[in-house]
Every structure is written in C-alpha cells, then in structure tokens.
Amino acid sequence: MNRLLITIGCLVFLPWMGQSQNSYSLEEAIDYALKNSSSLKMKQIDIADAEQRIKELRSRGLPTVSGTANYQFFAAVPQQPLEDFISPIVIGVLNSTVSQQNPIPLGPTQTFEVSFAQKHNVSGAIDARALIFDGSYLAALKAARLFRDFVDTGVDIDEQAIINNVTKAYMNVLILEINKETIDNNISSIEKSLFEMREMYKEGFIEELDVDRLELSLANLQTEMSKLLQVENLSKNLLKFQMDYPIDDPIALTEDLDSFIAKSKIDEVNLEDDFDVSKRAEVVQIKKGLELQELNRESISKGNLPSLTAFANASETLARNELFNNDLAGWLPSAVLGLNLNVPIYDGGLRKAQIERSKLATQKATIELENFEKAVSLQVANARLQYKNAKATIEARERSQALAEKIFEKTQIKFREGVGSSIELTQAEAALFNEQSNYINALYDLLSAKVELDIALGNLKK
C-alpha cells in the first residue's frame, strides 16, 4: 500500500517538478544567469586573487622567521699551502741573542700544507627579520585594497550586462509568442470564414475563385506560423545562451507580454528627469582606476625614502673529525642582532620615469572618463528620443489597427449579405493582418526603446 502511494505521488509531482525546473519568470531567468554565468565565475576568481594579493603584500610588513640546517662531510679535507714563517722568526731571535758571534744561516723558505677544516661539519640557524619602516609599503597596501574594490566594480558591470542581455532575449520570446497568438487567431478566423464560403459555394452563391482566394490567405498564414516557430526556437536558444542554460534542455516562460509591460512601467517614464551618470557602473570603475593611479604614483614616490629592517640570527655549529666523539669540542653558539638601513641614492632616473608614466596614465584615464560621460549623455539623449518616437508610433498603430478591424468586420458583413466582393474581403483582411504586424513591430520597438533607456540611465535592475 505504501509503495502504491509513493508511486502515485511520484506520478503526480514529477511533472510539476520538471516544469518548475524548466519554467522561468524574467526575474528567475536573471537569477539563473547570474548564478551560472561563466564570466561572473571568472570575476569571482579575480576577486579571490585580489584578496590573496592583499595578504601577499601585507606579509611584507610582518615578521618572518626561517630555519636552516646543514651537514657537510669532507671525504678529502681541504688544505692550503702555508709558508714557514716560524723558522725565520726563531733564527732571528737566536741570532740576536745566543748566536750573535756565529749566526745561523737562514735557508730557503719552506712551504708546508695545513688544514683548518674538520671532516664533519654540522650547523643549524634561526633567522628572523621584520620591516620597521618602508615609505612605499603602506601606499602599496592601500592600493591593493582599492584594487579589490576595482575588481568588484567589474563584477557589477558584468552583472548589469547579463541583466540587459537576458531581459532583451526574454522580451524577444514574449513578442514572438504574442505574434504567434495573433496569427493563430487569424488562422482560426479564416478557417471559419473558409468553411462558410465553401458552404456558400456549394449553394451557388459565390464563385470558386472566392474560395481559392481565402484558401491562399490561409496557406500564407500557415507558412508565416511555420516561420515563427523556427524563429521562436532560435530566440529561445539565444535566451538559453544569455542565461548559460543548457541548449538541449527545454525551457518555458511563465510571464506573458502584459506582465512584462506592467513591470516595464512604460507609462511612468519621465523624459525630463535629470540624469546621474554616477549610476553607471562603468563610471565607478573608471574613477576607481584613477584612484589606483594616484596611489601607484604615491607608492613610487615614497620608494625614494630610506627603508629600515631589523634582523636577528642565532646559530650553532659543530666541527669534528670524529662526529660522535663527545670528548672533542662541542657545539659552538653564535647570535647576532642588527638593523639594516637602505638609503636610495641614485637609480639612474628609473623612479622619475615611473612617476611620469603614472601621471600620463592618470591623464589618459581622465580623458577616458570625460569621453565616457559624453558618450553616456549622447546615449541617454538618443534613447529618450527613440522612446518618444516609439511611444508616438505605438499610439498611431493602435488607432490604425482598431480602424482596420472595424473595416474588416464591416466588409465581412457586406460579403455575407451579398453586397460585397471577395476581393474587398481579401483586401480588408490583408490590411488588418498588415496593421496587426505593424502594431506588434511598434510594440517591440517601444519595449526595446524602454529597455535601452533603462540601460542608458543605469536603471535596469533585477
């Protein structure tokens, strides 16, 4: 019994689970893209690398301790030639005292071999060092932290681009769906009219040519529907690509065009609002780059200051011809403490050239910021103009479509009452389909203009 209940539960809930995994609202599609984007994953790696860079740089200012151990065995003990300096001294003393009357002759200088090394040599040492002062250290550490923020702004830019691309791709699929719905309704309407005309033809009220014209219109609409289905697959594949979604997996959209339009807040647009360019993530990144250039120049300039390092070293050495003979000399300790002062005197103009290059890079970044602000101002102006034109166009298309529907309905009535021709009906029908297509295109242009305006203003968010 329990197994039966489990089986029934699986049959009921598995289709629902499958649908929930493959169906997405716009917000869910954006969330999926942000979680699975390969470019964002690369940016997260860059952030982690920046964190490690900060730790790496910070370690330069922290004490370091290292230990070493060394053992050497001389299979052949190194020796040095040494002149006999003792015999001349002894003979000189004797000749000046005891042998003054009969001096001892000084023969040729003798050379003999002597060694100051032992066969076994063991040593161990601990070395500690700490940076006390380095003018460029703090500036470099601050720059590393700022670089982390710089990388963060890159993530913001990538996230914004993903949101933009997913929104556009999602909108394209919705437009295609409303286009399909319109054509499907037209096909149903023509099929109904075609049935009526065939009956009228059987009764001899109309000519076969009238039926043929309607059948041709139906065939054309069916062809358009077939094309739209192919384009819909392409549009969904584009959406999958923008989401980093598996291309071979099915996907469905839970929102319709009406909800998308409601979220777009088309009627709430104020084209006279002031534009704040700092809302664009690119501006924030360029300004962070300028700050980095300033800190880089500061770090280079302070590199001209002296640096002071403290060090301590403790070691012990053991040198014996017989390593394990404790009757011989034992471990010999040694310890040293000190300071190391490094004073830059002349670097051949290297630092000056680096500072000048940093200034040039700052000037270049400043110009890039000015150019970007100008480009954004132009982008906003164009987006506002396109939106204004698209809004006017959609209003005109709505009126034209309503008028075409009215004409088509009256033409149908006239044809059924026998006072209108099939040519008039076909022309009215073609005019209606054309206006419907124009309206859908105008709606697409309006939604696209709204998205582009939000992108330009930096308002397109999750």
Q: Read off the pLDDT of residues 221-250 as tens digits, 9 standing for 90 and up.
A: 899 889 989 998 999 999 999 999 999 999
Based on the domain organization, do 98 and 239 belong to the same domain?
no
Q: Is residue 204 included in any domain, yes or no?
A: yes
Task: Determine how β-strand 252-253 pairs with β-strand 23-24.
Answer: parallel
294 in a domain, yes or no?
A: yes
Asked, for residue 276, whether it belongs to a domain, the answer is yes
Q: Are residues 181 and 93 in the same domain?
A: no
Q: Global pTM? A: 0.73
Are 89 and 214 found together in one domain? Answer: no
Say yes or no: 104 and 218 in one domain: no
> What CATH number did the domain enclosing 229 receive?
1.20.1600.10
Q: Alpha-carbon distance 70 to 381, whole Å?
A: 74
Q: Decide: 273 and 280 in contact? Cβ < 8 Å.
A: no
> Is the pLDDT confidence value at 114 over 90?
no
Residues 234 and 178 grouped into a single domain: yes
Taking only the tens place, the pLDDT of each residue in 1-41 is: 444 344 334 433 444 444 445 889 999 999 999 999 988 88
List pLDDT tens digits, range 426-453: 888 889 889 999 999 999 999 999 988 9
Average pLDDT over residues 105-116: 70
Q: Considering the chain, what is the average pLDDT of its residues?
A: 84
Dump pLDDT digits (tens) for 398-415. Answer: 999 999 999 988 988 887
Exposed e or buried b per residue across 238-263, where buried means at least 16 C-beta atoms within 10 angstroms of its C-beta:
bbbebbbbeeeeebebebebeebbee
Pair (221, 292) in one structural domain: yes
93 and 223, same structural domain?
A: no
- pLDDT value of residue 399: 94
| Residue 267: band (very low, low, confident or very high) from pLDDT cuts 50, 70, 90 | confident
Give the integer Cα–Cα distance in Å for 303 and 371. Answer: 33
Residue 84 is part of which domain span?
80-114
240 inside domain: yes
CA atoms within 13 A on the CB side of 71: 3
What dihedral do alpha carbons 113, 115, 116, 117 form, nearest 10°?
A: 160
What pLDDT shows up at residue 314?
93
Looking at the predicted structure, is the pLDDT value of residue 82 above 80? no
d(CA 282, CA 269): 24
* Total of domains in the chain: 2
Q: Are residues 84 and 218 in the same domain?
A: no
Question: In the block, which residue shows the tokens 């370690």?
Answer: 59
In a domain, 200, yes or no: yes
**Percent above pLDDT 70 for the chain:** 90
Can you give the pLDDT at residue 205? 76
